[in-house]
Amino acid sequence: MAVIRRALSFMPVSRLLFTVISGCLLCIEVTGAVLPEDRADALYHYYSGGGVDIQGPSILVRKSIKDKVSVSANYYIDNVSSASIDVVTTASAYTEKRKETSVGADYLNEKTNMSFNFTQSDENDFSARSAHFSVSQDFFGDLTTLNMGYSQGWDEVGKRGEPEFSEEADRRHFRLGLSQILTKDSLINFSWETITDEGFLNNPYRSVRYIDGGGYSYQAERYPSTRTSDALAIRGMYYLPYRASLKLEYKLFSDTWGIGADTIEVAYVHPMGDEWIFDFKIRQYDQNKADFYSDLFSQIDAQNFLARDKELSTFSSLTIGIGASYAEELKDWVHFDSYSVNLNLDFIQFDYDDFRDLRVEDTAVGEEPLYGFNANVVRLFFSVFY
């Protein structure tokens, strides 16, 4: 999670990008007393929007040991090419590569499942280490599942061209969830998450602008050294008579920086025959700005904390996603049971209410047009089960 939080603050794609890239096919997390399936996954992901291209592969391998333990390993690469509005207005376009590796283990004891994972991520100006632990327990005839989790992250922030620059940030992530099967056709899930961050929390490359005479100048951003955020979510799924399902989700977010946000998502899954599954989703996200954000400050050092990161501004996004998966048994194979191929496409529209496009010339200071952009996300992955 440390890696994800940092990436989202440095890239112009908001918290939604992680949701889109790492989300599964319209599933609700109902982790019961069962080990994950033995499988190997090969994923390719691609994001393009707002002058930023992110692409790369990911490989995951998971294997059970004596029906009690499941171990996994994952290797993930991000190739980033950025000429975003933040970059082109105050710096030069850049490219970089991020490599992430993780190892994990799940232990099953009757109706209790415990999971541990360690992740490390490195790029030329940033490194992160994080450890994750979670436990789930089934109750009441396996109709109720309680999930609890904790993560600890350690970040080291550098700066290209300044080898002496080095800052640190520590992150803690607490999770609690409750899933309940209501009827044979419906279930509901409640979750709560809180994240506390401490240390260097802003982007060392980003600047704010302030009025200077008849124009404007720039100075470096300054963020508080602490942040606490909370997210509450309720999700429900209803299985329709013809094997399809409908999913509804509402999530509420707030933090100590004054940001408040809510997300509404509706998703539909439709099987066709025994091999094909198609899905469709629509998600609306709305956010208000941080207390110390401004597109244009009145003067230099206008206040103690200063931000012009559009991810801390007032904005909304609309996501429309479609997906298809094909699965087939391998009846004549000795070492493999089945395989699946999955393709997901997401189309996202971002609209900013108080972040202006400085690339437009011949406009008065503070009256530039508001910024917005569209993004596309592609996920293609192949899985084999054994």
How many domains does the chain fold into?
Answer: 1
Instruction: Collapse the DSSP code of 357 into the 3-class scheme (helix H, G, I; strand E, B; otherwise coil) and give the result.
Output: coil
Residue 46 has pLDDT above 70, yes or no: yes
Distance CA 55, CA 163 (A): 27
CATH of residue 143's domain is: 2.40.160
- Sorting pLDDT into bands at 50, 70 and 90, what band is 11? very low
DSSP strand pairing (207-212 vs 245-255) = unpaired
Distance CA 141, CA 121 (A): 40
Distance CA 138, CA 32 (A): 6
Mean pLDDT over the full length of the chain: 90
Distance CA 150, CA 184 (A): 31
pLDDT in tens, 248-267: 999 999 999 999 999 999 99
| Alpha-carbon distances, residue 60 vs 57, 74, 129, 232, 259 (angstroms) | 10, 4, 19, 29, 35
The reported pLDDT for the residue numbered 32 is 56
Residue 2 has pLDDT above 80, yes or no: no
DSSP strand pairing (144-157 vs 245-255) = unpaired
Q: Residue written as tokens 């950025």?
A: 82
Query: What's the predicted TM-score (pTM) here?
Result: 0.88
- Sorting pLDDT into bands at 50, 70 and 90, what band is 5? very low
The reported pLDDT for the residue numbered 10 is 34
Report the amino acid identity of residue 68: K
- Sorting pLDDT into bands at 50, 70 and 90, what band is 18? very low
Residues 6+ apart with CB under 8 A from 332: none
Structure tokens at 218: 């720039």
**What single-letter DSSP state applies at residue 369?**
P
Distance CA 78, CA 207 (A): 25
The maximal CA–CA distance of the chain, rounded, in angstroms, is 77
- Sorting pLDDT into bands at 50, 70 and 90, what band is 332? confident
Residue 22 has pLDDT above 70, yes or no: no
Which stretch of DSSP H or E encloses residue 10? helix 2-10
**Rg from Cα positions in the chain:** 22
Residues 6+ apart with CB under 8 A from 265: 247, 248, 249, 250, 281, 282, 283, 284
Neighbours of 259 (CB within 10 A): 20
User: How confident is the model over 141-152, as a mean pLDDT?
Assistant: 95
Structure tokens at 341: 């191929």
User: How confident is the model over 268-297, as a mean pLDDT?
Assistant: 97
pLDDT in tens, 63-102: 999 889 999 999 999 999 988 898 888 776 778 899 999 9
pLDDT in tens, 204-238: 989 999 999 889 999 999 999 999 999 999 999 99
User: How confident is the model over 39-51, as a mean pLDDT?
Assistant: 96
pLDDT in tens, 174-206: 999 999 999 999 999 999 999 999 999 999 989
Residue numbers of the domain that contains 307: 2-385
Contact by Cβ (8 Å): 353, 314: yes
Residues 6+ apart with CB under 8 A from 365: 211, 214, 215, 216, 296
Contact by Cβ (8 Å): 236, 247: yes
Q: How many helices (H) and strands (E) would you count in the chain? A: 3, 18
Each as own residue / partner, the long-range contacts of residues 93-97 (CB below 8 Å, 24 or more positions apart, any chain) are 93/51, 94/160, 96/123, 96/124, 96/125, 97/123, 97/124
- Sorting pLDDT into bands at 50, 70 and 90, what band is 9? very low
Distance CA 188, CA 135 (A): 19
Poorest-confidence range of 5-14, 237-246, 306-315, 366-375? 5-14
